[in-house]
Structure 1
Amino acid sequence: MTVSAHDNRPRLPTWETALSHLVLVAGGFFLMIPLAWMLSTSLKSLGTVMSLPPEWIPRTFHWENYADIFRLVPFGRYVWNTVVITLLDVVGKIVSCSLVAFAFARLRWRGREVLFLIMLATMMLPPQVTMIPQFVVFKHMELIDTIVPLVLPNWLGGPFLTFLLRQFFMSIPLDLDDAARIDGASNFGIYWRVVLPLSKPALAAVAIFMFNGSWNDFFGPLIYLHSRDKYTIALGLRSFQDQNYTEWHLLMAASLVAMLPVVLIFFFAQKYFIQGIVFTGVKG
């Protein structure tokens, strides 16, 4: 059977495809409006922020606003505190959740399914339920106004991310474990040398989830951090707001600086993030 030369030509997009692309472009445009306004405001002077009609493109670009946020308040210190807490949270969450997920997915032991269901049941507890008891525990341990209450819970696992990693680990063939045991590998050796190297997409997804949550966390630092030199970025943004006064141009500049790491990490790691989320549903 001969193949027509017309079959090799690229197909033109149908009107349904064109319409869907048009809707996506329009949706993306509207989603970018707040970001564009934030960027515009960050380059204005305080006197022109509330001008009417609004100016999308400032007549004079005040780049010094970005320098002022580090000069007027210790914003660099806030960034450093946030980086330290976020990195400790990400490492702790990856280590603890991957170990628990490995035990639920790859090991056979009595009561495994029951404990797994109990762990999933804790997802139904809102954080407001455990907030006060947890605060009382850390207060008795004299850890208030330290970063320990913000870091230690993330070294003790978590139901959602443990479930995500467990689903991914179950998609890895068990034959690899048997082959490793024949070569003399222990359970930890299988976890470290077999499962983790094959789970980079899922680990990247966990890291992005944790980074985003920890970097933008406001409520936790608000409760546990009292000293100004220990503030995170989320608390530091309040430095540009007062009860009767808000420096909108500096607040928008600081918000853009705070948002930039999250956007960059997701932009460069979105491939692994999407793979990690998709592959967790391969095997249940």
Structure 2
Amino acid sequence: LRLASGSHHPFYNGFYYNHIMNDKGNGQEKVVYFNGAKLVVETPKDPVYSSNGANVTLPCHYHYEPDLEAKRKIRIKWSKLRDDYTKEQDVLVAIGKTYMAFGDFRGRAHLHQAGRRDASLVVSDVRLQDNGKYRCEVIDGLEDESDVVDLRLQGIVFPYQPPHGQYRLNFHEAERVCQEQGAILATFNQLFQAWSEGLDWCNAGWLADGTVQSPIRLPRKPCGGLHLAPGIRSYGPRHRHLHRFDAFCFSSGLRGEVFYLDHPDGM
């Protein structure tokens, strides 16, 4: 790693560096070569499951290769990600035992810190919107490493059609009617899981990302034709104000059992 620095003071944060002057030897530019220990961040590869209203721990630990015994001044940052791994929002930033949570996570998120080099995040009173990917980032001076935890809420996806008829909801109205049912718009992964468990529905509905989809297990004429394979039919992204469809809602923490009815000739 080659870094340029304009400071005349030696740079040192517990790692090992070689300081090389420029060709003129006047110290106006300093080139720093990093030869130290490697920072490694580890999170579980399998999803972490929880439900609405529960408390959940998102595991994250770090270490050095080779190991460093000296106590480090570490900064830990947690972020919630979109499905494409771009940042959706900051969750928490911590240095030592001092931390700050942001947005909807304020008062609900803190670090676990059960042992040495534990950067795990604890989220209490889990909400439906908490479902998704989270990045655990550990920063030690010039070293910055991260890994991702996938939090999945256990629940049910259900189609919603307004009482006054099919395809009457734009995206924002679909968000509202799901909230009125104690739910939120489902993600594609949640709809896919529901499809794999038996959901079969011809009517196309809004998802949380603004796309419109319909889950078909039994191809038939009213659902695009007999020649199409089973799967999730995608209409792609639609205009959130002008276009109107039904909705696929997701809720968690429901009691009882859910049964998908067979209706090969209908919806």
Q: Structure 1-normalised TM-score?
A: 0.21
Greater RCO (CA < 8 Å, at least 6 residues apart): 1
Instruction: Specify which structure has the higher proportion of helix.
Output: 1
Q: Structure 2-normalised TM-score?
A: 0.22
